């Protein structure tokens, strides 16, 4: 219990520092000062700041991937996202906004968006979505479809969740009907 509380404090301190300091300039000392814990506590939980970042991102991506793969693939869909799954992702983003906003506002943004696209590509592939016979050749098709959905969520976070969940769902539905079917076609492997 105490370790989890310490990890929570260390992660919160790390995220707080990201609001004002580039990742490369954040030190273990700065994290422990912000968290009001000693260095020994930090090293009980993490090898170094890279490990803290890695564990934090791994947990976030594991939670997103779990949501995206929990339900069976919708019939005749090539994009793996049914309405209930999208609603769960939207709720996840809302619940984790205080963490996601500083991460995406930091110099870690390119790494996070690239990793999210990779995760989506892995999920699509595991669900037998035909990514290789798309109407637009790869890697352009992936960038259009996977990059598009990532961009919608990142923009929503950047805009401080300006649209309601229902509005965002409508935007995604329109995007989904226009882009994935047009790019990949409706054929499944």
Evaluate the CA torsion angle 93, 67, 112, 133 in order and state its sign.
Answer: negative
Query: Can you give the pLDDT at residue 36?
Result: 97
DSSP conformation class of 24: G
Query: What is the mean pLDDT of the segment spanning 63-86?
Result: 76
Query: Can you give the pLDDT at residue 128?
Result: 54
Cα–Cα distance for residue pair 158/24, rounded to 1 Å: 22
Per-residue pLDDT tens digits for 143-189: 877 888 899 999 999 999 999 999 999 998 888 776 444 545 555 44
Per-residue pLDDT tens digits for 12-59: 999 999 999 999 999 999 999 999 999 999 999 999 999 999 999 999
Backbone Cα Rg of the chain: 19
Write out the two tokens for 139.
């890697």
Query: What is the mean pLDDT of the segment spanning 82-96?
Result: 92
Query: Can you give the pLDDT at residue 185?
Result: 56
Q: Which residue has the higher pLDDT, 182 or 91?
A: 91
Query: Can you give the pLDDT at residue 143?
Result: 81
Q: Are 79 and 129 in contact (CB under 8 A)?
A: yes
């Amino acid at each position: 219990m105490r370790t989890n509380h310490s990890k929570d404090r260390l992660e919160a301190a790390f995220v707080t520092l990201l609001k004002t300091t580039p990742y490369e300039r954040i030190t273990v000392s700065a994290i422990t000062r912000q968290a009001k814990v000693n260095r020994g506590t930090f090293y009980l939980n993490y090898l170094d700041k890279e490990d803290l970042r890695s564990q934090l991102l791994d947990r976030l991506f594991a939670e997103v991937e779990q949501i995206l793969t929990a339900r069976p693939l919708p019939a005749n869909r090539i994009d793996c996202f049914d309405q209930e799954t999208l609603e769960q992702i939207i709720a996840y983003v809302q619940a984790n906004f205080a963490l996601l906003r500083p991460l995406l506002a930091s110099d870690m943004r390119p790494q996070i968006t690239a990793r999210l696209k990779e995760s989506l590509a892995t999920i699509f592939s595991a669900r037998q979505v035909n990514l290789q016979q798309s109407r637009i050749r790869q890697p352009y098709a992936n960038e259009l479809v996977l990059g598009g959905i990532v961009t919608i969520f990142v923009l929503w976070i950047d805009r401080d969740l300006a649209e309601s969940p229902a509005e965002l769902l409508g935007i995604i539905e329109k995007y989904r009907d226009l882009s994935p079917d047009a790019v990949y076609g409706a054929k499944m492997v």
